[in-house]
Structure 1
């Protein structure tokens, strides 16, 4: 159905007069009448009984008027929420990031975001595939390299390095690892090289494997690597952002680490004014700032 004709029909039904509806719509009576006739022809029905005192809706007209009243109410409600959204944060926000960062860093911090914005609904999509933000496969992304897609707003959040960790219990049982050659005596846990991952992590693992490590355990994401380490299975290659949230981890061979991995937040240019995006971006930046501060304070103490 033609939305413009429905708008004119609603005004006529509400006013009960072609003339009064025309005044409201700033249209001539004849123009309003033509639109009503065209709508009746398209529906193959009569919407109004016409008599000297004005117009009365037919049964079919009443049905259509009920529908347009409901439509108007929903449009009014939407308009009000759009106006409110200039100050409020609500609705769905689709966030995509890697499985490791999403499970180990982002998800545990989301309760604080919900406390601040209880009407915000996060749809967290964890996968290594880079979703197409301009095509709106997601609203905002946190990725371990700078996005190459066009028409994106990008902000560098922090840097990550891959390092070696073991549990305190594992170190207590097996002793300190004093040199890289000692890694041959331990089970090495890492993200499998045939899975999608940052190049810096793969490079570090390849360097370690050059020491002919005989015993390995591979997983296709860092969450699995962490579980192996926490359960005393061996020494794991993990991103450094896990250290604060898992105090049982001990860094092994502290002079050994990967190259720097940049972490970027990105979203489509068309969502620049989105309050949901702004709230999420500010939240993540604040959490990273606090995370860094706690790490520095712990190192200083």
Structure 2
């Protein structure tokens, strides 16, 4: 049998109001549409549900047997719609974020503090790791990434671009005059990574060939490397926007093209219409477009 919930809803309305016209007004349908629904339902069931007469639509015995069940079904459908609407409007719950060391440690706590003051009913979890979270397996609800996600089942939003630069603390530059050319960097204390080769590749793109041993300070933890720059150990890479929060940290060779990252927010396509997740994504996007505003220490 093939009939729709709309046909049962129409049957119930005609039985309740006693005529096609009255039922059509209640349902917001045309009278011919209501009549067609009844005809299709009777044809599908192989039953005569109404006796049609000048006084309206009168239930047959078999039609009367179905009215109670139809009413229960309509009540369940209404409850289902009410519950679904309530779930959409409800924003309380948990949202899990995934971010790398820099964002998860230095940036997100300051942003999330403001968000949770505005939406105290939402709980936030942050997974801080430079490993890429698997949104397809729901390791996180929202991921902050420095590259465009490629999976088809993900929804991604580009937020902004983050240029990189070389920086040093003013105390270091007081002891070591700032480099005037890229070759001058070889005479400075350079801060770099230990086992991760990506920074060497960035220097190579800027026309400076380096090896791991050229870095006097080496660490694969991004936050430790940032703090090493701020401590005055030597020259190292920072996000230009982030460094603006630290007046004592000065950019050297500002014309040097180190690298520019794209900042993306991503979530699984199945949850993009979830009101709670939309709120968090919209809030993050707004704050990350003007990053690092009084949110770092």
Same fold by TM-score, threshold 0.5 exceeded?
A: yes
Question: Is 1:210 paired with 2:209?
Answer: yes
CA distance in structure 1 between the aligned counterparts of 2:86 and 2:200, rounded to whole angstroms: 48
Contact 1:99/1:127 (8 A) holds in 2: yes
- Any idea what SS the aligned residue of 1:263 has? strand
Residues 169 and 203 of structure 1, relative CA distance in 2, 3 Å threshold: same
1:140 aligns with 2:142: yes
The alignment partner of 1:145 has SS state of coil
Give 1:174 deviation, angstroms.
2.1
Tell me the SS of whatever aligns to 1:146: coil
> Does structure 1 residue 118 correspond to structure 2 residue 120?
yes
CA distance in 2, matches of 1:258, 1:147: 23
Alignment of 1:180-219 (within 5 A): 180-192=182-194, 194-195=195-196, 201-206=199-204, 210=209, 214-219=214-219
Moved over 6 A (4+): 79-82
Indicate the residue corresponding to 1:178 in structure 2: 180
- C-alpha separation between the residues in 1 aligned to 2:156 and 2:134? 14
Give CA-to-partner distance per residue, 1:270-301, whole Å, 9 cap, x none: 10211221111111121133349x79xxxxxx
Provide the secondary structure at the position in 2 that maps to 1:245.
Answer: coil
Q: In the TM superposition, what whole-angstrom CA distance separates every residue of 1:50-94 from its partner, at most 9, and x where no partner exists?
A: xxxxxxxxxxxxxxxxxxxxxxxxxx9xx9997555345321111
Specify the SS of the correspondent of 1:255. Answer: coil
Contact 2:100 2:129 in 1 (8 A): yes
CA RMSD in angstroms, aligned pairs only:
3.2
| Residue-pair matches, total | 219
Match of 1:96, SS?
strand
Structure-2-length-normalised TM-score: 0.64
State the 1:238 CA deviation. 1.9
Unaligned stretches of 5+ residues in structure 1: 1-24, 28-75, 296-301
Q: Distance in 1 between matches of 2:234 and 2:83?
A: 53
Q: Which residue of 2 aligns with 1:286?
A: 286
Say yes or no: does 1:262 pair with 2:290: no
Q: Give the TM-score, by structure 1 length.
A: 0.63
1:215 shift after superposition: 4.9
In the other structure, the counterpart of 1:239 is 239
Aligned partners of 1:154 and 1:266 also within 8 Å = yes
